[in-house]
Amino acid sequence: MDYRQLGRSGLQVSAIGLGTNNFGRQLDAKATEIVINHALDMGINMIDTSNSYSGGRSEEFIGRALKGKRHEAIIATKVSSRVGEGPNMGGNSRQHILAEVENSLRRLGTDYIDLYQIHWWDPNTPIEETLKVLNDLITQGKVRYIGCSNLKAWQLCESVWAGRASGLASFASVQPSYSMMDREVESELVPFCKSYGVGILPYYPLANGFLTGKYVRGQGAPEGTRLADNDRGMFTDENFDMLERLEAFCAERDHTVLELAFAWLLANPNVSSVIAGATKAEQVVGNAKAGGWSLTEEEYDEVTAMLP
């Protein structure tokens, strides 16, 4: 496993990470433990969750699975999403963050969070209030690094400058939807991250499994897979045309599209960790192994020219 800096921080995170929005939903506590154990065995340390995944059960099951080996993992969790009724049960206010960090720590069974991320921009809370409370949590030792998710480039820029103006800790990373199938962030956010040294943690890196090789034109989705009930608009002729071109490109080089999905994202040195979800041990093992392909510049350009 390769390890990369999380943005400009000193934290080393595995180039392949583990996403956990299936834990507590598709996966029960036992299945979660199996996936996590395999992830750690493969050198994956980056585990991404949220206080909102499966009503908190993702954090709870991760906490149970990491009992006795907490130090092996970098736990990245999030706050912002609505977690109950009432005006202060979501967002990025001091009130909500101080309440929710305690709930996350309790569910995770730990006394510190490695990377605490705001899940969403909160238009109702001044970013200075959010950064101040996050900075306080770092000072208290409850949180080690801070990050964000789903921010637009201008929002991240405002956050960085607000933090600088007040001498507060800055976001080490940003988590956007980013894959060969979804490149919207390349126009503004990716260049911003390059200039400012913010680490990128792409989510949906496998396009919900479309880039794993298990979906074949005209064959219907394999039962029990994520795109089986709802293809999320992926099963179009245009997408299968592209997938088949990518498959041919990979086959010529003795690689797979799954490997390419990671290699293409990791070709950007600002990508710190690619957090792919996994519902089975063999998937997380496959994903960890898939990280070994380094694209040449020519290969990267050739692939990129095929993408939407």
Ligand X SMILES: NC(=O)c1ccc[n+]([C@@H]2O[C@H](COP(=O)([O-])OP(=O)(O)OC[C@H]3O[C@@H](n4cnc5c(N)ncnc54)[C@H](OP(=O)(O)O)[C@@H]3O)[C@@H](O)[C@H]2O)c1
In the complex, the smallest distance separating the C-beta of residue 163 from ligand X, rounded to whole angstroms, is 20
Cβ-contact 201, 173 below 8 angstroms: yes
* Residue closer to ligand X, measured from CB, 110 or 149: 149
Cβ-contact 147, 201 below 8 angstroms: yes
In the complex, the smallest distance separating the C-beta of residue 298 from ligand X, rounded to whole angstroms, is 26
- The 46-48 sheet, strands edge to edge: 199-200, 173-175, 143-149, 113-118, 74-79, 46-48, 16-19, 274-277
Q: What are the residues binding ligand X (CB under 6 A)?
A: 19-22, 48, 119, 149-150, 175, 203-209, 212, 214, 225-226, 258, 275-279, 283, 286-287
* Residue closer to ligand X, measured from CB, 207 or 295: 207
* Residue closer to ligand X, measured from CB, 136 or 150: 150
Cβ-contact 200, 178 below 8 angstroms: yes
Q: Is 53 a catalytic residue?
A: yes
In the complex, the smallest distance separating the C-beta of residue 167 from ligand X, rounded to whole angstroms, is 28
In the complex, the smallest distance separating the C-beta of residue 122 from ligand X, rounded to whole angstroms, is 14
Cβ-contact 48, 19 below 8 angstroms: yes
* Active-site residue, selected from the candidate residues 3, 53, 215, 300: 53
Q: How far apart are CA 260 and CA 241, in angstroms?
A: 16
Burial status of residue 98 (CB atoms within 10 A of its CB: 0-12, 13-18, 19 or more): middle
* Residue closer to ligand X, measured from CB, 127 or 275: 275
Catalytic residues: 53
